[in-house]
Amino acid sequence: MQFFLDTANVKEIYEAASLGILDGITTNPSLVVKEGRSFKEMLQEICKIVDGPISAEVVSVEADAMVKEGRELAKIHKNIVVKCPLIPEGIKATKKLSAEGIRVNVTLCFSANQALIAAKAGATFISPFVGRLDDINMDGMELISDIRQIYYNYGFDTQILAASIRTVNHITQCALVGADVITAPPSVIKALANHPLTDAGLAQFEKDWAKTGQKIL
């Protein structure tokens, strides 16, 4: 499983990258506006920090305009993945961009049928939103499982990029049902290593080691 960070904040990206487990970045207009800086300059800086897929979203809702924006974004760096919304115009744009060798992350997926047509259009990634489905009393993880089965049935290469990850339990569940990638906010990525028994065990080891009066270095 690959770990992507869902942020446009360079400081957060540097911190997460220092763990050595970060594979890519996802951004969206809502994250970008929080940073209050040039979108293209921000993407260029992110690409220098993380050597992996960096998702950058188009903002038009008409296919031809999406394609033009996608081409422009793809010029920024070889690691840029163009994000298109899962609407009919977005599917058209995905088909055109993927035919040109530009990787596409189809976002705002909330059904298995949406994931199916995205794969048929040549999407590199499909982004089902787990947490947002849970918010309306639907089972976001069931959607991940359904997409996994459909892609397996028909041999689609599109990678399942589980988005709207809210908790470390979401990540565990995604791993169990076979999501290829998760994208999560920094707070959730940091929490992956946390466990009270780990803290208690380490405190005891430190206490006992101090009693030996020894040093390793």
- Asked if residue 133 lies in contact with residue 110, where contact means CB atoms within 8 angstroms, the answer is yes
Whether 188 is in a domain gets the answer yes
Whether 127 is in a domain gets the answer yes
Of 143, 160, 162, give the one whose Cα is nearest residue 151: 160
> What is the pLDDT at residue 150?
98
Residues of the chain with pLDDT under 50: none
Render pLDDT for 82-105 as a digit per residue (tens, 0 to 9). Answer: 999 999 999 999 999 999 999 999
Name the domain count of the chain: 1
Whether 67 is in a domain gets the answer yes
Question: What is the Cα–Cα distance from 138 to 205, expressed in whole angstroms?
Answer: 44
Tokens of 76: 């920024």
Whether 101 is in a domain gets the answer yes
- Asked if residue 89 lies in contact with residue 59, where contact means CB atoms within 8 angstroms, the answer is no
Identify the domain containing residue 39 by its residue range.
2-212
Of 189, 77, 31, give the one whose Cα is nearest residue 10: 31
CA 129 vs. chain centroid, Å, equals 10
CATH number for the domain that contains residue 12: 3.20.20.70
Whether 217 is in a domain gets the answer no
Whether 183 is in a domain gets the answer yes
Whether 26 is in a domain gets the answer yes
Question: What is the Cα–Cα distance from 201 to 194, expressed in whole angstroms?
Answer: 12
**Residues of 20-41 as b/e, b for ≥16 C-beta within 10 angstroms?**
eebbbbbbbeebbeeeeeebee
Q: Which of 11, 34, 75, 83 is catalytic?
A: 83
Whether 55 is in a domain gets the answer yes
Active site residue 83: yes
> What is the pLDDT at residue 3?
98
